[in-house]
Structure 1
Amino acid sequence: METILSVQGLEKSFKDKQVLKSISFEVKQGEIMAILGPNGAGKSTTIRNIMGIIYPDRGEVIFHQYKDIPRHKIGYLPEERGLYKNVKVMDMLLYLADLKDYPLKKAKERALAYLEKFDLKGKENVNLEELSKGMNQKVQFISSILHEPELLILDEPFSGLDPVSQDVFKDEIRHLADQGTAILLSSHQMNLVEEICDRLFMIQQGEKVIYGSLDDVKTEYANFKCTIRGHNDLTVLKQLPQVQRIDHQPDRAVLYLDHDVTPTLWLKNLPVELHIQELSIDRISLHEIFVDIANSNQSNEKVGEQHA
Structure 2
Amino acid sequence: MLVLKNVNKIFHDTHAVVDLNLSLQKGEIYGLLGANGAGKTTTFRMILGLYEQTSGEITWDGQKMNESINDLLGYLPEERALLQKLTVKTQVSYLAMLKGMSEDKTEKELDAWLEKFNISDYKNKKIKELSKGNQQKVQFICAVIHNPELIILDEPFTGLDPINLEMMKEEIINFKNQGKTIIFSSHRMEHIETLCDRLTILRKGRTVLQGQLKEIKQSYNARTILIQGKLDADYLKSIPHVVEVTRQQDDWCVRIDHKQHTSTIFNALKPEHSIEKFLVCEPSLHEIFIEKVGQAYEE
1:108 is aligned to 107
Following TM superposition, by how much is the alpha carbon of 1:268 offset from its aligned partner in structure 2, in angstroms? 6.5
2:271 is aligned to 272
Q: Deviations over 1:30-63 (max 9, x none)?
A: 1110100011111111111111111111111111
Following TM superposition, by how much is the alpha carbon of 1:176 offset from its aligned partner in structure 2, in angstroms? 0.9
2:202 is aligned to 203
> How many pairs are equivalent?
297
**Which amino acid counterpart does residue 271 of structure 2 have in structure 1?**
V
Q: Give % identity.
A: 37
Q: What is the alpha-carbon distance in structure 1 between the residues aligned to residue 3 and residue 134 of structure 2?
A: 33
Larger deviation, residues 105-114 vs 166-175:
105-114
The 8 Å contact of residues 237 and 243 in structure 2, kept in 1 or not, is answered as: no
Following TM superposition, by how much is the alpha carbon of 1:107 offset from its aligned partner in structure 2, in angstroms? 2.5
The 8 Å contact of residues 223 and 259 in structure 2, kept in 1 or not, is answered as: no
Q: What is the alpha-carbon distance in structure 1 between the residues aligned to residue 49 and residue 146 of structure 2?
A: 19
Following TM superposition, by how much is the alpha carbon of 1:266 offset from its aligned partner in structure 2, in angstroms? 6.3
Q: What is the alpha-carbon distance in structure 2 between the residues aligned to residue 125 and residue 116 of structure 1?
A: 14
Following TM superposition, by how much is the alpha carbon of 1:27 offset from its aligned partner in structure 2, in angstroms? 1.3
Q: What is the alpha-carbon distance in structure 2 between the residues aligned to residue 74 and residue 139 of structure 1?
A: 17
TM-score, length basis structure 1 = 0.89
Structure 2 unaligned runs (5+)? none
Q: What is the alpha-carbon distance in structure 2 between the residues aligned to residue 180 and residue 284 of structure 1?
A: 30
1:13 is aligned to 10
Counterparts in 2 of 1:178-217, with a 5 A limit? Answer: 178-217=177-216
1:51 is aligned to 48
The 8 Å contact of residues 58 and 65 in structure 2, kept in 1 or not, is answered as: no
Following TM superposition, by how much is the alpha carbon of 1:239 offset from its aligned partner in structure 2, in angstroms? 4.5
Q: What is the alpha-carbon distance in structure 2 between the residues aligned to residue 229 and residue 160 of structure 1?
A: 37
TM-score, length basis structure 2 = 0.91
Q: Secondary structure at the match of 2:71?
A: helix
Following TM superposition, by how much is the alpha carbon of 1:207 offset from its aligned partner in structure 2, in angstroms? 0.5
Q: Does 2:21 correspond to 1:24? A: yes
1:306 is aligned to none
Q: Secondary structure at the match of 1:29?
A: coil
Q: What is the alpha-carbon distance in structure 1 between the residues aligned to residue 249 and residue 114 of structure 2?
A: 49
1:42 is aligned to 39
Q: Deviations over 1:191-249 (max 9, x none)?
A: 11111111110110110001101101111226331112445212332344543332247
Larger deviation, residues 198-207 vs 246-255:
246-255
2:121 is aligned to 122
Structure 1 unaligned runs (5+)? 303-308
1:80 is aligned to 79
Following TM superposition, by how much is the alpha carbon of 1:18 offset from its aligned partner in structure 2, in angstroms? 1.2
280 and 106 in structure 1: CA distance in 2 versus 1, 3 angstrom threshold = farther
Larger deviation, residues 225-234 vs 187-196:
225-234
Q: Secondary structure at the match of 2:273?
A: coil
Larger deviation, residues 239-248 vs 75-84:
239-248
Larger deviation, residues 105-114 vs 7-16:
105-114
Larger deviation, residues 139-148 vs 122-131:
122-131
Counterparts in 2 of 1:148-227, with a 5 A limit? Answer: 148-221=147-220, 223-227=222-226
Q: Secondary structure at the match of 2:23?
A: strand
